[in-house]
């Protein structure tokens, strides 16, 4: 069996993780037997270089040869929520809190960076792209797929059944959109003391879930402040509507139940936290893109 995106035989790996050496050859569509173990072809080096850089930047998972994923700073709290209840962390200003946060990150990721310290030597051309070393550094299928979409690189079709690729790609694209939306709300460099400093502004911009949305004339800081005033339920409603709109954009035939049961909607929109089926249904029913004739007569769940 061969993949449309790969001319070599497609044999889906049994493990959920592969070495960088193996992955790079698969993505370059080259057999490993054709490579010099200390000087692989340029097409392979291009892929390896991108993966090494991304692992150093915590953009691609690092897995040991025993299958253990070493946690990077993506698994740690954002600086916005770092010691958020501890005023001493923030009393000397935002930059002081950032310095404390970076020390915290370095401590938590020290094992990871020790494990891949040789990456820098390779990237600085003081060490070769060695098969011996690169066969000991692994990453996972899910992280590689997400990384490829984020970087707009060739998708690792070799790792997935052809009939599941479309759904995986859609799920990951939705996840990336949600990540970007969440990052936008954290770029205001908000700190736990912000509500004290901007008490009057918060009072002006606090709105109930049922009120009309903010007018387009609000600036980014005002929107960030507004987001900070919302309850967990109100934030989930906004995220669920964003996700539902995107899902319907990619697949207009989906029903509301299809949306409600979607993994991304449940996990990243926060819908899984609400036990009433009518809650999330009411949030998104006005976004349904299907003709009225196809929506009529459905039972209310």
Question: Above 70 in pLDDT, residue 169?
Answer: yes
Q: What is the pLDDT of residues 45-75, one digit of tens each?
A: 999 999 999 999 889 999 998 888 998 877 7
Closest to 265 (Cα-Cα) out of 251, 246, 250: 246
Q: Which helix (H) or strand (E) holds 7?
A: strand 6-9
- In degrees, to the nearest 5, what angle opens at C-alpha 134 toward C-alphas 132 and 138? 130
- Give CA torsion, residues 277, 281, 282, 286, to 10 deg: -170
Task: For 70-108, give the secondary structure using H, E and C.
Answer: ECCHHHCCCHHHCCCCCHHHHCCCHHHHHHHHHHHHHHH
233-242 average pLDDT score: 84
Q: Is the pLDDT of residue 295 over 90?
A: no
How far apart CA 101 and CA 103 sit, in angstroms, is 5
pLDDT tens, residue by residue, 245-275: 888 887 888 888 888 888 888 888 888 888 7
* 5-20 pLDDT, tens digit each: 444 455 566 678 999 9
User: Nearest 5 degrees, angle CA 153-CA 155-CA 161?
Assistant: 180
């Amino acid at each position: 069996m061969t993949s449309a995106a790969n001319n070599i035989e497609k044999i889906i790996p049994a493990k959920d993780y592969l070495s960088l050496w193996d992955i790079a050859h698969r993505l370059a569509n080259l057999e490993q037997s054709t490579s010099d173990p200390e000087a692989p072809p340029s097409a392979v080096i291009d892929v390896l270089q991108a993966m090494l850089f991304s692992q150093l930047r915590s953009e691609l998972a690092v897995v040991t040869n025993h299958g253990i994923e070493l946690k990077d700073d993506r698994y740690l709290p954002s600086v916005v929520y770092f010691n958020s209840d501890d005023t001493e962390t923030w009393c000397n200003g935002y930059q002081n809190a950032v310095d404390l946060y970076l020390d915290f990150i370095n401590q938590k990721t020290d094992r990871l960076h020790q494990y891949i310290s040789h990456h820098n030597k390779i990237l600085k051309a003081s060490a070769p792209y060695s098969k011996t070393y690169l066969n000991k550094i692994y990453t996972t299928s899910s992280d590689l797929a997400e990384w490829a979409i984020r970087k707009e690189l060739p998708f690792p079709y070799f790792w997935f059944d052809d009939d599941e690729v479309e759904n995986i790609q859609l799920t990951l694209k939705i996840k990336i959109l949600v990540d970007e939306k969440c990052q936008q709300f954290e770029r205001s460099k908000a700190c736990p003391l912000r509500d004290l400093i901007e008490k009057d502004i918060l009072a002006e911009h606090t709105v109930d879930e049922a009120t009309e949305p903010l007018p387009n004339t609000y600036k980014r800081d005002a929107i960030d402040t507004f987001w900070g005033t919302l309850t967990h339920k109100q934030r989930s409603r906004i995220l669920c509507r964003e996700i539902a709109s995107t899902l319907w954009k990619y697949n207009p035939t989906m029903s509301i139940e299809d949306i409600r049961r979607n993994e991304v909607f449940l996990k990243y929109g926060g819908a899984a936290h609400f036990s009433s089926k009518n809650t999330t249904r009411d949030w998104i029913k006005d976004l349904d893109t299907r003709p009225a004739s196809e929506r009529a007569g459905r039972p209310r769940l």
